[in-house]
Structure 1
Amino acid sequence: MKAVMRQNQNKRAQFDLADILRDNKVSFSEKYNLFQQQKKAYQDICACRTAQLKGHLAYCNCCNYKRQAYNSCRNKHCPKCQFIKQAKWVDKLQSSLLDCKHFHLVFTIPHQLNELVYLNQKKLYNALFSSAWEAVSKATNNPKFLGAQTGAVAVLHTWTQTLNQHPHIHMIIPSGGLSDDQMEWVPCRNNFLAPKRIISSLFRGIFCHNINKAIKNNEFVVPDKFKWTCVKNTLYKAKWNVNIQKPISGVNAVVKYLGRYTNRVAIDNARITDTKNGKVSFRYKDRKRLVSKIIQLDTLEFIRRFMLHILPHNFYKIRYYGILASTNSQTKRQQVSALMETYIAIPKYEGLSGVEVYSLITGKDVSRCPKCRKGRILCRALPGPET
């Protein structure tokens, strides 16, 4: 993995999401109510790398060099705290994938369900994951298509480039599977996994069935004026968007590709271009015209859209299925590697500290004093602010 991997995200940007949240905390709280996890994320991002979280003093054991720094919040929604986490996950992913081509599928649910999803995030995001994988598993197990047990790495995203609500799953699937007797690797024929319309209709049916069952059992908070019977009829008439892209060749290409979608937050600081007159401007990519544009939102609307994408507590947005699941790591995955005569890569960042990982990625020895170039940097905790 090259040092260029999103390294510029870790640099200090001209505008900071944390500043926007801090400056508008009172006015936003007066207008909007937040869930508990949203409140925590809001507070953590505001406190990140400030005296509120205390800090540490880095000093050289050879000269008089000193540098004070505040601690990070480490919240998974903070744009300043994802660089090392992403690098470690991408490194670990290399040991999870198979050395073959992979398909990239995107499962999207209709916008009519957005309000229901927002009020029942954990349950419906879980249903989105399970429905997408069940649809793929049923289609690929069908002897008319692949006729084998495959696997997947799935990543949840909930936003568009303009921060609107748009729940969808990115799923990476190997171009083949393990035979039922586990004695043969069955490759996809002619780069074909299964018909898009089959996977789409399966996904629609499974997901709607799960919602219908939960609503009947009163397991959901249902929005006012939300009539499930009418919505369900509309959903069954519509064609659901399941996008299947051409297979990606090689583990490195897959890791680089999927790395774009993991450990990301709805917006990073580098995309924010201006904050003035009660407005926030930021860059977004126009997918249809493939050009970069600028959108301007009222500051409170910008914050509201960002807060839509705070995930529930202890929710895993990256999941593994089938032969790639952790429960199969010592059985089916090893069996597949043996059948394909390939090897399983060993993560090089496993067990390393964040400082050590950063040094390996950037090629900079951050433990060496930048002033005298001889001494080593040591750290000691600083006392917190007086209360």
Structure 2
Amino acid sequence: MNKNTKPLKYIFENHFHQTWNNIKHKFPKNLHSSIWNNVSKFLDCGDISRGYTAFKCNQCSHMHIVGFSCKSRFCSSCGKIYAENWALNLKEQLFDVQHIHAVFSLPTGFCRDFFFSHRFKLQDLAKAAYQSLKYVFKKSGIHSFGAIVNIHTFSRNLDWNPHIHCIFTYGGYKKNDQWKELKSIPYPVLKKSWQKCSLDIIANFAKINNNINLKNKISLCYRKYNDGFYVKSDKKINNIFEIAKYIGRYLARPAIAEYRITDITDSSVRFWYQKPDSPKKIFLTLPMTQFIGRLLAHIPPKNFKMIRRFGLYSRRYKNKKPKKIKLFKGKISWAERIFKTFKTNCKC
């Protein structure tokens, strides 16, 4: 592999087309065009034959050429810039109050498999997380609150694991428009609420399609998980900048960071990951076909929104002005990014 070639680009330049022909039948047909288009854009990212911008140093007249970016959801470089720009647009909408981050998970088995085959139902899963929170807030006397929901489909080892990252205000407005903070979150209630709201999505599908097998699995699932589905929350988030930064990192990027890939052969890829509760690195080697397949599984359908806003953060509340917080100095260009990092625009 050329030392100047990034690992993912090398893998997909040399193995994607053959692998895709062998595995595309495993993916829902409505995803095929999205996968092909995103990977094609990613492979052309930075290719100056497809257009470029030239930067000239005012001191030595050196010309630096930068190929146009692809803006694909599968490109790590473009994803980083997209996430930062998205966070800039968020700055006028966040409330200057405490927030909390929670993860809503599904058990392994048919629940996760259902959302792989019916990808557009993931938008209903985002609503289910909000509805389960809404039930808890209502019991606390809170009529409206703000939530930003990120649909996340991969685990650290690249497996298909649809779950929800949600950042929400730790309080909200009562019916008299007075702000009220939550004293605590009743997690036993939230877990059962999340279980019902998410299983209702599958139950409605089973009812419409008269799928007896799914109906039986849902009944067994309630009995097996009688305490509800897993919900985990972190400590309260007081820093508005950290909130925007956290949400942005999941917006548009491949399921693995390039630095985690340690070895590539013609038949396999070796990478490492860490469990949430341990700093120890776990190394995993996957056959090339399986590695590519796991990455492709997380490319969303065209125009599918991975971020959903609810309550006080939804568009219909745009006239309700929260306190404005300045998160960044403003959108910056490529040249400004280089200067910010290296303190110079040129080798001179």
The letter of the residue matching 1:358 is R
Alignment counterpart, residue 115 of structure 1, candidates 86, 91, 113:
113
1:71 aligns with 2:57: no
Residues in 1 aligned to 2:305 and 2:238: alpha-carbon distance in whole angstroms: 27
1:278 aligns with 2:267: yes
Task: Describe the superposition over 1:102-139 as per-residue Cα deviations: whole angstroms up to 9, x where unpaired.
Answer: 111111122222322112101x2111011111111121
The letter of the residue matching 2:173 is L
1:243 match: secondary structure = strand
Aligned length: 336
Residues in 2 aligned to 1:98 and 1:255: alpha-carbon distance in whole angstroms: 12
Alignment counterpart, residue 227 of structure 1, candidates 186, 196, 213:
213
Gaps of 5+ in 2: none
- Aligned ranges 1:1-387 → 2 under 5 Å: 15-33=6-24, 35-51=32-48, 53-60=50-57, 63-112=60-109, 113-122=111-120, 124-142=121-139, 145-182=140-177, 184-189=178-183, 192=184, 194-218=185-209, 227-237=213-223, 238=225, 239-331=228-320, 334=321, 337=322, 343-346=323-326, 348=328, 352=331, 354-355=333-334, 358=337, 362=341, 364=343, 366=345, 370-371=346-347
Gaps of 5+ in 1: 1-11, 338-342, 373-387
**Number of the residue aligned with 1:9:** none
Task: Describe the superposition over 1:159-210 as per-residue Cα deviations: whole angstroms up to 9, x where unpaired.
Answer: 011100011111111111111121x111122xx1x31121221222122222
Percent of counterpart pairs with the same letter?
Answer: 22
C-alpha contact (below 8 Å) 2:105/2:162 kept by paired residues: yes
C-alpha contact (below 8 Å) 1:105/1:244 kept by paired residues: yes
Residues in 1 aligned to 2:94 and 2:208: alpha-carbon distance in whole angstroms: 39
Aligned Cα RMSD in Å?
2.7
Residues in 2 aligned to 1:79 and 1:137: alpha-carbon distance in whole angstroms: 34
Q: Structure 1's 284 and 78: CA in aligned 2 closer, same or farther, altered over 3 A?
A: same
How far residue 63 of structure 1 moved from its aligned partner, in angstroms, is: 4.5
The TM-score normalised by the length of structure 2 is: 0.86
The letter of the residue matching 1:134 is Q
C-alpha contact (below 8 Å) 1:37/1:310 kept by paired residues: yes
C-alpha contact (below 8 Å) 2:16/2:292 kept by paired residues: no
More helix by percentage: 2
1:155 match: secondary structure = strand
C-alpha contact (below 8 Å) 1:88/1:349 kept by paired residues: no
Residues in 2 aligned to 1:356 and 1:50: alpha-carbon distance in whole angstroms: 18
1:81 match: secondary structure = helix
The TM-score normalised by the length of structure 1 is: 0.78
C-alpha contact (below 8 Å) 1:285/1:292 kept by paired residues: yes
The letter of the residue matching 1:69 is V
C-alpha contact (below 8 Å) 2:52/2:66 kept by paired residues: yes
Q: Structure 1's 344 and 64: CA in aligned 2 closer, same or farther, altered over 3 A?
A: closer
2:272 match: secondary structure = strand
Residues in 2 aligned to 1:42 and 1:288: alpha-carbon distance in whole angstroms: 33
